Every structure is written in structure tokens, then in C-alpha cells.
Amino acid sequence: MMPMTMLKKILQTTLVFIAASALCTGATAQKHQKKSVGKPATARAAEGSTPYASRADAMAFADDLAERRDLDREWVRQAIGQARFLPQVPRLMLPPAQGTAKNWRAYRSRFIDPVRIRAGVAFWQQNRAALERAEREYGVPADIIVGIIGVETIYGQNMGSFRVMDALATLAFDFPGAHPRAPERTEFFRRELEQFLSLTHRTNVDPFDPRGSYAGAMGLPQFMPSSWVRYAVDFDGDGRIDLFGSPADAIGSVANYFIAHGWTPGMAPYYPVEFDTARVDMDALLAPDILPTFSATSMAAKGAIVQGAGAQHAGPLALVELQNGDDAPSYVAGTENFYAITRYNWSSYYAMAVIELGREVAAARSR
């Protein structure tokens, strides 16, 4: 058995060299095992149900992938063929039942709690130099980076226990048809499976060893395979990228991700907003959803008055609605930086949880 640290060195060093040619939330990761050149390791004890070797569509995908990526055909067929369908994973991908009321306060309580705040303070103290450097070099505040890693994995305590190969295969070939964006999401996960297999083949890594989330995300920041290739950086300068074991690499990679998705240094993520109830046009204000569209002046003309420094904000804004179950919703004026956080997870609730967790950790740390 190859120790996990050695395997990750091999994988993540290679990622540095192939990033230019590539495409785009448990347990700690398991020990890895090196495979024979050109062939995947033999199948482990089943973690799911029927392997995909019996599926014609999966084997056709394997043949096409091998040809397009110039990979060994038998290796790809064996890798995909040994992957197991995980019956719980498609259920986890389905949105809440129609009519289920969203509740920001309930959502917030899942992520802003004493356990996560204490862990965040410890993480910040242990990695202060890397956080300060990331803020200095990328312009992404330390509290935003701390918020992301805390929401995603509780600072590495929960990086996922699913075999990434099984999770990606399940979502590539059995994404739930009841999902409103099933065709688009199926294609997304097929691309991620392709990226994952390409990486493991190039690095001579057994594709059944890496562990991650039920969606196939990996490491402290829960990067999908394509995001790992595109945005992960060797921030600790040791010559390799290690998002599992190097907090510094995770910190730099999160900052790099945000810069690539439009983060503007120095810009607040949102401003308070109040309403002129006599003339507020909520339909028009909410129509663009979280995409920044309005100037502060045009929002005011529609009855939403941006408060404080936001009244002079020069860029576009979005009226962000956070529902509170049966109670009145909460609203903020989101900037382009708020929108950048939602590129990590397409949810205004997620973005607010990241912002507020980071701020709570910063306040606890200062105390």
C-alpha cells in the first residue's frame, strides 16, 4: 500500500503540469494504493450495488472517453465498469419538495454554531500567515476564505467518505430524472468523471482510492476535479498541490477561485436595504434574481433604498431575498462580490452563511 501523503504528492504535482491543457460538500481521506501501469486495481468490496460493467451506456461512454483523451481503452472500461451505483446519491441531489418553505434562520443555524466557530478560530490562528498572504496577494479577505472552508468541511473535519469514482459514475449515468435540470447536470457530471479519470490515469493513481463528498468534491475546500485543475495552487511552495493535507494550498486555491470568478478587492459583498413601501416594485427588483443588475439609483427609483456606503456604490447590485419560513423575508443589496461567492455554490443562502460564519469567527478571534 502506498501512503496517502505520497499518493497525493504524485497526483497534485501532476495537476500543476496539466492545468494549462485541462478544461473548469465524513471521514479523512483513506490510504491510497498504487495500481499497475495501464490497468486499474481489482475491484474492492462493493460500496454500492451493481457495477457499471453491465451498462451499455456506461461502456459506450468509456470507449468514447478513451478515444477522445487518448487513454488506454481497457483501463477506462475496467475503471468505469468497477464503479458502483450508490442508491442514496441521486436522492441527495433532488431539490426540496415543491412547496417547502425556505428558511434562512434555520439554514444559518446549520453553519453558524459554537462548534464551527471554535474550529474556525483555531484554523485562523494556525494559518494566520497564509490567510494574511492570500488577502494581500489576491485581495480576498481572510474571513471569506475562513467562511468557505468552515461551511464546506468544518476546516477539514468532514471532507467526505464516498469513493469519488462511485459518486461521479452514479451522477454521470443515473442522475435523477426528476431534477428540473437533469440533462444539464448529467452532462456536468460526465465531464467531471472524464476529468477525474484523465487525472488518475496520468498520475498512475487508483481511481477508487480518493474519497470526497456525494457529489465528488474533494479536499478542505471541496473542489470538483475540474476546479482542482483550473484553480488549485501550490500556496505553501513545496512543489505540489495538496488540498487534503495543506491548509495553505486550500487557502490560496479558494482565493484564486474567487479572483477567477470576478472577485473585486475592497468591495463589500452586500449592503443593507430599506423599502419605500408606497412605491416599491418587488417584481421588477427580484426578476434578475441574484445577478447584479441595478445601480443604487435605479434601485431607489423602484423603491429599494440602499443604505450607508451602498448609496454611493458604483457597480451593479441585486436585491437578494432570504425567506424566513412563515415570517417576513430578509433582504440585502448584493454586490458583484456576493455574486462571486455564489459561483462556489449557486445559492444566496450559502453565500450569506459563508459571509456570516467568517464574521463570527473573526469576532470570536478578536475576543
C-alpha cell at 107: 439554514
- Active-site residue flag, 135: no
Q: Which residues pair with 271 in a beta bridge?
A: 333
Instruction: Check whether residue 215 and residue 278 sit in a common domain.
Output: no
Same domain, 292 and 212: no
pLDDT of residue 125: 98
Same domain, 324 and 195: no
Kind of pairing between the strands at 270-275 and 327-334: antiparallel
> Could you tell me if 78 and 168 lie in one domain?
yes
Burial of 103 (0-12, 13-18, 19+ CB in 10 A): middle
Q: Hey, what amino acid is at 34?
A: K
Q: What is the pLDDT of residue 283?
A: 97
Q: Is 262 a domain residue?
A: no
308 in the same domain as 169: no
Mean pLDDT, residues 330-351 taken together: 97
More confident residue, 275 or 7: 275
DSSP reduced 3-state for 241: coil
Q: Which one has a higher pLDDT value, 31 or 103? A: 103
For 96-154, what is each residue's pLDDT tens digit? 877 778 999 999 999 999 999 999 999 999 999 999 999 999 999 999 999 999 999 99
Q: Does any domain span residue 19?
A: yes
Mean pLDDT on 251-261: 98
Which of 309, 243, 177, 220 has its CA nearest to residue 15? Answer: 243
The tens digit of pLDDT for each residue in 263-285 reads 999 999 999 999 999 999 999 99
Domain hosting residue 217, numbered range: 4-95+158-222
Within a domain: 106? no
Instruction: Judge if 285 and 212 occupy the same domain.
Output: no
Give CA angle at 289 (361, 301), nearest 5°.
100
Instruction: State pTM to two decimals.
Output: 0.85
Of 329, 325, 315, the C-alpha closest to 286 is 329
Residues 6+ apart with CB under 8 A from 325: 101, 102, 103, 105, 106
In a domain, 12, yes or no: yes
Same domain assignment for residues 173 and 315: no
Tell me the C-alpha distance between 230 and 227, whole Å.
5
* Res 214 pLDDT > 50: yes
Residue 188 lies in a domain: yes
Q: Does residue 353 belong to any structural domain of this protein? A: no
**Domain tally for the chain?**
2
Domain with 199 in it: what CATH number?
1.10.8.350
Query: Residue 111 domain-assigned?
Result: no
Say yes or no: 81 and 12 in one domain.
yes
Residue of 135, 152, 336, 360 marked active site: 152
The pLDDT value given to residue 48: 55
207 and 325 in a single domain? The answer is: no
190 and 291 inside one domain: no
Please check whether residue 32 lies inside any domain of the structure: yes
